[in-house]
A and B are shown apart, each in its own frame.
Chain A
Amino acid sequence: MSTARVTAGPQSSIGLRSIAGRIGFLPALLLLLVAAMSATDPQFYGIINILNILRNASLLAIVACGQALVIVAGGFDLSVGAVVALASVVTAKTMATTATAFPGNTALIIASGVAAGLGCGMVVGLVNGFCVAKLKVSGFVVTLGTMSATAGVGLMITNGIPVYGMPDIFVKGFGRAQAFGLPTAVHVALIVILVMVFAQRRTLFGRYVYAIGGNVDAAVVSGVSIQRHIVGTYVVSSVLAALAGILLTAQVGSGQASFGGDRMMLQSIAAAVIGGVSLRGGVGRVEIVAISALFLTILGNALNLLHVDSRLQPVFLGVIMVAAVALDELSRRRKARV
Chain B
Amino acid sequence: MDVDDDPKPAEPLLRLRGISKHFTGVRALDRVDLDVRAGELHVLFGENGAGKSTLINVVSGTFPPDEGTFHFESEEIRHLTPQRARAIGISPVFQEFSLVPSLTVEENLFLGREVSQGGVLWAREMRKRATALIDELGFDLNPALRVDDLSRAHQQMAEIAKALLGRVRLLILDEPTASLTERETGRLFELIARLKSQNVGLIYVSHRMREIRALADRVTVLRDGRHIRTLDAATSTDGELVELMTGRKIDLLFPTIAHKPDKVMVDVENLTLADGSVRDVNLYARAGEITGIAGLVGCGKSELIRAIYGIEPATSGVIRIDGAPYEFPAPRRSLKRGIAYFPANRIAEGLALSRPIRENASMTVLDLPAFARFGLLRQAAERARIGGIMAQLQLRPPNIERTAGALSGGNRQKVMLGRALTRELTVFLFDEPSVGIDVGAKLEVYEFMKRLVEAGAAVIVVSSELPEVLALSNRLYVMHHGRIAAELTGDEKTEQNVLSSFFRDHLTAEVA
Residues 251-291 (chain A) with a chain B CB within 8 angstroms: 278, 280-283
Question: Chain A: how many interface residues by the 8 Å CB criterion?
Answer: 42
Is B107 close to A, CB under 8 A? Answer: no
Report A-chain residues with C-beta under 8 Å of the C-beta of B48.
2
Could you say which of A217, A223, A335, A337 contacts B364, with CB atoms under 8 Å apart?
A223
| A222 contacts B364, C-beta separation under 8 Å | yes
Q: Contacts A1-B410, A221-B311, A335-B405; is A9 near B22 (CB within 8 Å)?
A: yes
Report B-chain residues with C-beta under 8 Å of the C-beta of A218.
348-352, 360, 363
| A338 contacts B352, C-beta separation under 8 Å | no
- Give the size category of B's interface with A: 35 or more
Q: Tell me the complex Cα distance, A224–B22, Å.
A: 38
Report B-chain residues with C-beta under 8 Å of the C-beta of A133.
none
Is B332 close to A, CB under 8 A? Answer: yes
Q: Tell me the complex Cα distance, A221–B344, Å.
A: 12
Is A326 close to B, CB under 8 A? Answer: no
Is A3 close to B, CB under 8 A? Answer: yes
User: How would residues 300 to 334 of chain B score, 1 for a CB under 8 Å from any chain A CB and 0 otherwise?
Assistant: 00000000010100000000000000000011111
Most buried by B among A203, A213, A222, A280: A222
Q: Tell me the complex Cα distance, A10–B23, Å.
A: 9
| B355 contacts A210, C-beta separation under 8 Å | yes
Is A174 close to B, CB under 8 A? Answer: no
Q: Which residue of A lies closest to B395 (CB)?
A: A2
Report A-chain residues with C-beta under 8 Å of the C-beta of B408.
2, 337-338
| B352 contacts A219, C-beta separation under 8 Å | yes
| A337 contacts B24, C-beta separation under 8 Å | no
Could you say which of B26, B363, B410, B438 contacts A224, with CB atoms under 8 Å apart?
B363
Report A-chain residues with C-beta under 8 Å of the C-beta of B335.
222-223
Is B505 close to A, CB under 8 A? Answer: no
A279 to chain B, nearest CB (A): 12
Could you say which of A4, A13, A223, A335 contacts B334, with CB atoms under 8 Å apart?
A223
Report A-chain residues with C-beta under 8 Å of the C-beta of B407.
337-338
| B224 contacts A1, C-beta separation under 8 Å | no
Q: Tell me the complex Cα distance, A205–B366, Å.
A: 10
| B224 contacts A3, C-beta separation under 8 Å | yes
Q: Contacts A2-B411, A210-B359, A215-B351; is A221 near B25 (CB within 8 Å)?
A: no
Interface-located stretch among B156-164, B191-199, B375-383, B474-482: B375-383
Q: Which residue of B lies closest to A11 (CB)?
A: B25
Q: Which residue of A lies closest to B250 (CB)?
A: A1
Report A-chain residues with C-beta under 8 Å of the C-beta of B379.
201-202
| B355 contacts A282, C-beta separation under 8 Å | yes
Is B421 close to A, CB under 8 A? Answer: no
Residues 366-420 (chain B) with a chain A CB within 8 angstroms: 366-367, 372, 375-377, 379, 396-397, 402, 405-411, 419
Q: Contacts A9-B26, A211-B363; is A221 near B343 (CB within 8 Å)?
A: yes
| A214 contacts B354, C-beta separation under 8 Å | yes
Q: Which residue of A lies closest to B343 (CB)?
A: A221
Report A-chain residues with C-beta under 8 Å of the C-beta of B363.
211, 218-219, 222, 224
| A1 contacts B246, C-beta separation under 8 Å | yes
Is B225 close to A, CB under 8 A? Answer: yes
Is B444 close to A, CB under 8 A? Answer: yes
Could you say which of A204, A334, A338 contacts B372, with CB atoms under 8 Å apart?
A204
Report A-chain residues with C-beta under 8 Å of the C-beta of B35.
none
Q: Tell me the complex Cα distance, A201–B402, Å.
A: 16
Residues 249-279 (chain B) with a chain A CB within 8 angstroms: none
| A4 contacts B396, C-beta separation under 8 Å | yes
Could you say which of B27, B349, B419 contacts A217, with CB atoms under 8 Å apart?
B349
| A203 contacts B375, C-beta separation under 8 Å | yes
| A337 contacts B359, C-beta separation under 8 Å | no
Is B119 close to A, CB under 8 A? Answer: no
Report A-chain residues with C-beta under 8 Å of the C-beta of B348.
215, 217-218
Q: Tell me the complex Cα distance, A278–B375, Å.
A: 25
Q: Tell me the complex Cα distance, A207–B379, Å.
A: 11
Q: Tell me the complex Cα distance, A208–B371, Å.
A: 13
Report A-chain residues with C-beta under 8 Å of the C-beta of B376.
202-204
User: How would residues 12 to 44 of chain B score, 1 for a CB under 8 Å from any chain A CB and 0 otherwise?
Assistant: 000000000011111110000000000000000
Q: Contacts A1-B246, A204-B372; is A8 near B27 (CB within 8 Å)?
A: yes
Report A-chain residues with C-beta under 8 Å of the C-beta of B143.
none
| A2 contacts B311, C-beta separation under 8 Å | no
Report B-chain residues with C-beta under 8 Å of the C-beta of A304.
none
| B353 contacts A2, C-beta separation under 8 Å | no
Report B-chain residues with C-beta under 8 Å of the C-beta of A337.
23, 26, 49, 405-408
Most buried by A among B47, B349, B441: B349
Q: Tell me the complex Cα distance, A331–B396, Å.
A: 23
Q: Tell me the complex Cα distance, A102–B367, Å.
A: 48
Is A5 close to B, CB under 8 A? Answer: yes
| B359 contacts A204, C-beta separation under 8 Å | no
B349 to chain A, nearest CB (A): 4
Q: Which residue of A lies closest to B342 (CB)?
A: A221
B358 to chain A, nearest CB (A): 10
Is A194 close to B, CB under 8 A? Answer: no
A94 to chain B, nearest CB (A): 32
Q: Which residue of B lies closest to A8 (CB)?
A: B27
A277 to chain B, nearest CB (A): 11
Q: Contacts A2-B411, A338-B26; is A224 near B440 (CB within 8 Å)?
A: no
Is B443 close to A, CB under 8 A? Answer: yes
Q: Tell me the complex Cα distance, A218–B443, Å.
A: 25
Q: Tell me the complex Cα distance, A221–B440, Å.
A: 26
| B353 contacts A1, C-beta separation under 8 Å | no
Q: Which residue of A lies closest to B441 (CB)?
A: A1
Report B-chain residues with C-beta under 8 Å of the C-beta of A336.
23-26, 28, 406
Residues 429-456 (chain B) with a chain A CB within 8 angstroms: 438-441, 443-444
| A7 contacts B25, C-beta separation under 8 Å | yes
Report A-chain residues with C-beta under 8 Å of the C-beta of B443.
1
Q: Tell me the complex Cα distance, A280–B403, Å.
A: 15
Q: Contacts A211-B363, A215-B353; is A13 near B411 (CB within 8 Å)?
A: no
Is B112 close to A, CB under 8 A? Answer: no
Is A327 close to B, CB under 8 A? Answer: no
Could you say which of A5, A210, A220 contacts B331, with CB atoms under 8 Å apart?
A220
User: How would residues 53 to 64 of chain A score, 1 for a CB under 8 Å from any chain B CB and 0 otherwise?
Assistant: 000000000000
Question: What are 27 sample pairs from A and B whose C-beta atoms fall under 8 A apart?
Answer: A2-B409, A2-B410, A3-B440, A9-B25, A201-B377, A202-B376, A202-B379, A204-B366, A208-B366, A210-B355, A210-B359, A211-B352, A215-B350, A217-B349, A218-B349, A218-B351, A218-B363, A220-B349, A221-B331, A222-B363, A223-B330, A282-B352, A283-B354, A334-B23, A336-B23, A337-B26, A337-B406
Closest 3 CB pairs of A and B: A214-B352, A1-B440, A223-B332
* Apart from A1-B444, A7-B26, A201-B377, 18 more pairs, CB < 8 Å: A3-B224, A4-B396, A5-B49, A9-B23, A9-B26, A204-B372, A207-B366, A210-B355, A213-B352, A221-B309, A222-B419, A223-B331, A282-B352, A282-B354, A282-B355, A336-B25, A337-B407, A338-B402
